[in-house]
């Protein structure tokens, strides 16, 4: 598709969507949101770029092969699960190395730990998986139209 | 943690093989190492369960019934062990069976995702979690079915996915009804909550939904048509994996859910299961007789065997359940061996159609013998592994005085022998249409090793039948009286 309006708008909107994706992902820690929705949002950013400027531009913008992104994400979720197993003996148990508990029961520190890593893995799996499907579909459509089909 | 390895190892292998996509050699090495690691973890679980009885592990440290529980009793542990054995054999065989293109499109990651789904489905003690593992398997098996991109693969995959999607919707509907009425999805907790509520219409409705779901996964009559339509289209390695393990998940789920969650004795579902099993046996063997290509015949024999397993479970006495479980275990190995040897035969003769193959006996007699052993075991010839569960089943049905069921079992065995003999005479015995010199290809090490080891296992089980009968009787006791399972999950009853 060669639309000046769409490609200009895509350049403006794409960073906004990506920032929103990261925000939704981070917010999902304790509120509605999370890795799955964040990953979907991030994938829509690349879908928009693909619509506006073609699949090659979208591939370059993603930098890595979508399958590899999904693989790294799956690896992150597994490490997030095994971390809890190593620390407490329960697979998928939450580990919070940066949070300190005080004597009165309150907590302080940064909420980064195994659950965050797990959710980040989900983010990458969804982003990689959706982009993989989208790009593959676009490839098929392109090769069909080049072959003189409809 | 031990119980999570059969899920973690295949997923981890899938990650590594995805990252190593550039090099098929590295992918193969990682894939085989992953399969061996899976086998090792399965052996550890198996020996632990045999020595100490059922064990449970709680994900995230949340106690049952609030968290997701993984449980291994003797039935689950043996199924996971069989997953490890078949995974190793099939992945080794795939080195000379699966094309470079299929490997490039992700044969190894998808296979390991399928293995993770199988491991999870066999070990989970939570019915919603079981649904999730079914979905993992469905996605991975859809990928494996279409990976070659042939038109007949797409046609088979559409039937496969079509019925399987309906089945998973029924599954989730049944689980939803259960959760609505019982307020829990932990199968052990459900056992206690539903105790005394067998007649409730909600409970019966959810049981009917789940029966539909598992019956279509297991290819029970009349929900079997997708199996012969799709199992002969992918690579032989994938066919072997599907026929040995994926249909068995439906059987396992029936055994597990309809003994632990529901009490089907005396309910409306009992005759449905019983006559469904008998009709499945009949359609399986007659379907096998009507086909003229190797994998289509084998596909129908899967259906016949599934009928036998379900019949054992539906008859319900200790011996009959043990017979069903024994049949389930040995059929995994027999089907894997048969589908892999079908692949090797097709590579030798150039085709798997009866009309286009033949002459194996004259040019490759040793290979013909290796193929003959699992084939005879499928037909139930003593002393091979397929004979003993049939004997137990006949004995169990006669004990109950149901001559008809004993006759149906024997007749199925007879027609199974007939179907195997047809394959044998067409592919092995008769002359090749292109003459005796047509077979020039040879089989390499990665083809021989899994075939010979699976065949030796089939002989080993047949000759050591006593030990395996004891094991399956223990499992039948655990199925009929799940107290040990419940204690492992929920702790000592208060």
Least confident range from A142-146, B163-167, B383-387: namely A142-146
Give the model's pLDDT for residue B437. Answer: 65
Contact assessment for residue B248 and residue B332, using Cβ atoms and an 8 Å cutoff = yes
Give the model's pLDDT for residue A112. Answer: 84
Tokens read off for A123? 């983010």
Give the model's pLDDT for residue B265. Answer: 77
Helices (H) and strands (E) in chain B, counts: 22, 2
- The answer to whether residue B23 sits within a structural domain is no
Tokens read off for B24? 């098929």
The model's confidence at residue B438, banded by pLDDT at 50, 70 and 90, is: low
The model's confidence at residue B175, banded by pLDDT at 50, 70 and 90, is: very high
Helical pair B5-19 and B74-94, crossing angle rounded to 10 deg: 20
The vertex-B475 CA angle with B470 and B481, nearest 5°, equals 125
CB contact under 8 A, A75 and B1: no
Dihedral angle of Cα B342, B343, B346, B347, to the nearest 10 degrees: -150
Residue B71 phi/psi, 5-degree rounding, is -130, 140
The total number of structural domains that make up chain B: 1
Average pLDDT value for residue range B229-254 = 91
Instruction: Note down the domain range covering B369.
Output: 268-477
Is A94 within 8 Å of chain B by CB? Answer: yes
**Sequence-separated (6 or more) residues with CB below 8 Å from residue B37:** B9, B13
Give the model's pLDDT for residue B431. Answer: 81
pLDDT reading at B403 higher than 70: yes
Give the model's pLDDT for residue B29. Answer: 95
Average pLDDT value for residue range B242-254 = 93
CA distance B279 to B220: 9
Least confident range from A103-112, B119-128, B414-423: namely A103-112
The model's confidence at residue B436, banded by pLDDT at 50, 70 and 90, is: low
Query: What residue ranges do the domains of chain A occupy?
Result: 4-146
- The answer to whether residue B93 sits within a structural domain is no
What does the pLDDT look like over B49-85, one tens digit per residue?
Answer: 999 989 999 998 888 888 899 999 999 999 999 999 9
What does the pLDDT look like over B189-236, one tens digit per residue?
Answer: 999 998 888 778 899 999 999 999 999 999 988 888 888 888 888 899
Residue B237 phi/psi, 5-degree rounding, is -60, -45
Q: Which of B15, B58, B109 minimises the CB distance to A75?
A: B15
**Nearest residue to A87 via CA among B189, B146, B61:** B61
- The answer to whether residue B144 sits within a structural domain is no
- Give mean pLDDT in consecutive 10-residue pieces for chain A, a chain of 150 residues: 85 94 89 91 94 90 92 95 90 86 81 89 95 89 70
pLDDT reading at B440 higher than 80: no
DSSP percent split of chain B into helix, strand, coil, nearest 5? 80, 5, 20
Give the model's pLDDT for residue B65. Answer: 86
Is A129 within 8 Å of chain B by CB? Answer: no
**Chain A environment of B126 (Cβ under 8 Å):** none
CB contact under 8 A, A89 and B1: yes
pLDDT reading at B267 higher than 90: no
Residues 61-80 of A with CB under 8 A from B: 65, 67-68, 70-72, 74-75, 78
């Amino acid at each position: 598709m060669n639309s000046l309006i769409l490609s200009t708008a895509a350049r403006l909107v794409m960073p906004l969507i990506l920032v929103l994706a990261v925000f939704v992902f981070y917010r999902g820690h304790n509120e509605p949101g999370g890795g799955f929705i964040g990953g979907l949002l991030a994938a829509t950013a690349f879908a928009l770029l693909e619509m506006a400027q073609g699949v090659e531009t979208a591939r370059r913008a993603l930098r890595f092969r979508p399958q590899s992104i999904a693989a790294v994400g799956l690896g992150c979720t597994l490490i997030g699960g095994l971390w809890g197993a190593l620390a407490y003996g329960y697979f998928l148990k939450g580990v919070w190395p940066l949070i300190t508990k005080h004597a009165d029961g309150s907590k302080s520190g940064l909420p980064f730990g195994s659950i965050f890593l797990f959710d980040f893995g989900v983010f990458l799996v969804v982003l990689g998986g959706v982009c993989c499907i989208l790009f593959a579909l676009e490839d098929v459509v392109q090769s069909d139209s080049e072959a003189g089909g409809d | 943690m031990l119980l999570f390895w059969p899920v973690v190892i295949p997923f981890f292998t899938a990650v590594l093989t995805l990252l190593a996509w550039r090099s098929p050699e590295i992918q193969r090495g990682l894939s085989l190492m992953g399969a061996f690691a899976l086998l090792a973890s399965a052996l550890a679980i198996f020996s632990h369960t045999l020595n100490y009885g059922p064990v449970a592990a709680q994900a995230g440290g949340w106690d049952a019934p609030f968290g997701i529980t993984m449980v291994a009793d003797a039935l689950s542990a043996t199924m996971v062990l069989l997953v490890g054995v078949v995974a190793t054999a099939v992945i080794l065989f795939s080195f000379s069976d699966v094309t470079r293109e299929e490997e490039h499109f992700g044969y190894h990651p998808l296979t390991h995702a399928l293995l993770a789904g199988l491991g999870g489905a066999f070990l989970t003690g939570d019915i919603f979690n079981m649904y999730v593992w079914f979905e993992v398997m469905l996605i991975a098996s859809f990928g494996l079915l279409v990976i070659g991109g042939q038109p007949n693969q797409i046609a088979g995959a559409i039937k496969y996915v079509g019925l399987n999607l309906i089945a998973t919707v029924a599954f989730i509907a049944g689980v939803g009804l259960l959760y609505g009425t019982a307020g829990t999805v932990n199968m052990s907790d459900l056992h206690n909550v539903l105790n005394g509520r067998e007649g409730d219409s909600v409970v019966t409705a959810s049981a009917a939904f789940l029966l539909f779901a598992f019956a279509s996964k297991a290819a029970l009559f009349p929900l079997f048509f997708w199996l012969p339509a799709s199992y002969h289209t992918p690579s032989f390695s994938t066919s072997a994996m599907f026929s040995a393990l994926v249909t068995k998940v439906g059987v396992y789920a029936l055994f597990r859910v309809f003994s632990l969650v529901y009490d089907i004795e005396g309910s409306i579902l009992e005759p449905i299961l019983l006559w469904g099993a008998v009709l499945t046996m009949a359609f399986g063997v007659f379907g096998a007789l009507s086909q003229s290509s190797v994998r289509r015949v084998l596909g129908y024999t899967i259906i016949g065997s599934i009928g036998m397993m379900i019949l054992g479970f539906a008859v319900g006495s200790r011996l009959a359940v043990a017979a069903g479980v024994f049949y389930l275990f040995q059929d995994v190995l027999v089907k894997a061996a048969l589908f892999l040897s079908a692949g090797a035969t097709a590579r030798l003769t150039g085709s798997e159609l009866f009309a286009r193959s033949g002459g194996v006996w004259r040019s490759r007699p040793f290979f013909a013998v290796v193929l003959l052993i699992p084939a005879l075991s499928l037909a139930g010839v003593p002393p091979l592994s397929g004979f003993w569960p049939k004997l137990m089943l006949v004995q169990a049905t006669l004990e109950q005085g149901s001559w008809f069921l004993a006759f149906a079992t024997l007749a199925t065995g007879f027609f199974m022998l007939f179907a195997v003999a047809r394959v044998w005479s067409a592919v092995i015995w008769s002359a090749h249409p292109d003459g005796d010199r047509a077979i020039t290809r040879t089989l390499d090490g990665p083809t021989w090793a899994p075939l010979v080891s699976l065949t030796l296992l089939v002989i080993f089980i047949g000759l050591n039948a006593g030990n395996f009968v004891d094991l399956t009787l223990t499992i039948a006791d655990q199925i009929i009286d799940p107290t040990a399972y419940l204690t492992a999950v929920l702790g000592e009853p208060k």
